[in-house]
Amino acid sequence: MKLSYALLLTAVCYGGASRSITAQQMADAIAKQGAKTVAARLNSGKGIATWNYVEDRVASGSIPWLKIAVVLKPYTDAGIAEGLDNSVADALPKAPEQVVGMLGETFHADRICSGAQFIEVPKKTVLDYLKSARVAVQKIADPTLTKKRDSCLTEINSGIKDMSK
């Protein structure tokens, strides 16, 4: 058991076999070593393939990976933090309740809900994304998320207005 955990931690932290790492395996590594340690090893540059994989999984809207993003982001450098923001924003139309629930200290509505992740992308692509996100976010009925939902909708609507000019 110790040997397989050591191999897993090496894979998670140094980029080996990154395509086979599950959210549960990443969560186990974080629980055993701490988020700061795992993120520091990923930030070292030896785990960039793993960061790319994590960002892809987060962008898919996978709830376990979204939870991992929340845990790891405080320990990331600026580039990785921006990548995680972009991935969480990409997940918004797919997992709106989870993403909106994450807004606060770690992830902010002005980055996640505004379409800010799009750089040099055709306006139609951004508008389509924002409209899709708006439809998804408007469906959130959880009363505990009302304030965050409304803040996100304000950012989405502002983005739509800006893109429609």
pTM for the model stands at 0.85
Reported confidence tier of residue 2, pLDDT bands at 50, 70, 90: very low
Reported confidence tier of residue 149, pLDDT bands at 50, 70, 90: very high
Range of the structural domain that residue 164 is part of: 92-165
Highest mean pLDDT among 8-22, 115-129, 131-145: 131-145
Helices of type H across the chain: 2-14, 23-33, 35-41, 48-59, 63-72, 78-91, 96-102, 109-112, 123-138, 146-163
**Which of 74, 90, 106 marks a domain boundary?**
90
Q: Is the pLDDT of residue 43 over 90?
A: no
Q: Are both 36 and 82 inside the same structural domain?
A: yes
Q: Are both 28 and 5 inside the same structural domain?
A: yes
Could you read off the pLDDT of 46-81 as tens digits, one per residue?
653 478 889 999 999 999 999 999 999 999 988 899
- What is the total count of domains within the chain? 2
